[in-house]
Amino acid sequence: MTFRAAVLELVTRIPRGRVATYGQLAALLGRPRSARIVGQALRSADGAVPWHRVVNAQGRISRRARMTSMMTQRIRLEQEGIVFRRGRVVLGRFRWSAAPRRNGE
DNA sequence: GACTTGACTAGAC
DNA sequence: AGTCTAGCCAAGT
């Protein structure tokens, strides 16, 4: 399985109303230095996963080519009840705490 | 297989 | 608080 596929699967587990950071997801997959690759995976997924629930370590929406997608991300997060302060998600309150898996995988 | 490309990050000013 | 820099590394050419 490619790292990309593992990322997409993991992103799917982020519950509504919570967010995760690129580095956090990378660490959960056992590759703490691969945060950038998480972004790559989301870009290639082209909307097939809840990509909007992933923000950077500062709690801010990362820059990308299409500005519209940045706006879409913020709107979706706020619709899920996530609060922004000074342009950042309040990570202390909304960061997802991954639940450990019980068996296999 | 040798580049290139970033939706990243932590640290240093 | 903003800006830079240097590492980072899977994927695409």
pLDDT tens, residue by residue, A8-28: 999 999 999 999 999 999 999
**How long is the CA A57 to C1' B11 vector, in angstroms?**
14
Chain A 75..94 CB hits on strand B (< 7 A): none
> Which bases on strand B have an atom closer than 7 Å to a protein beta carbon?
6-10
The Cα–Cα gap between A94 and A22 comes to 15
Q: Is the Cβ atom of A11 within 7 Å of strand B at any atom?
A: no
- Where do the DSSP E strands lie in chain A? 20-21, 54-55, 84-85, 88-89
Reported as a single tens digit per residue, the pLDDT across A31-61 is: 999 999 999 999 998 888 999 999 999 999 9
Closest of A40, A33, A55, A56 to residue A8, by C-alpha: A40
* Tokens, residue A13: 């587990």
Contact A8, A21 (CB under 8 A): no
The CA–C1' separation of A63 and C12, in angstroms, is 21
Q: Find the Å distance, CA of residue A7 to C1' of nucleotide C9.
A: 14
What share of chain A has pLDDT > 90, as a percent? 79
Query: Is the predicted pLDDT of residue A105 greater than 70, yes or no?
Result: no
Burial of A47 (0-12, 13-18, 19+ CB in 10 A): exposed
Mean per-residue pLDDT over chain A, rounded: 91
Distance CA A67, CA A71 (A): 7
What average pLDDT does this structure show over A77-101? 91
Interstrand relation of A88-89 and A84-85 (parallel, antiparallel or unpaired) = antiparallel
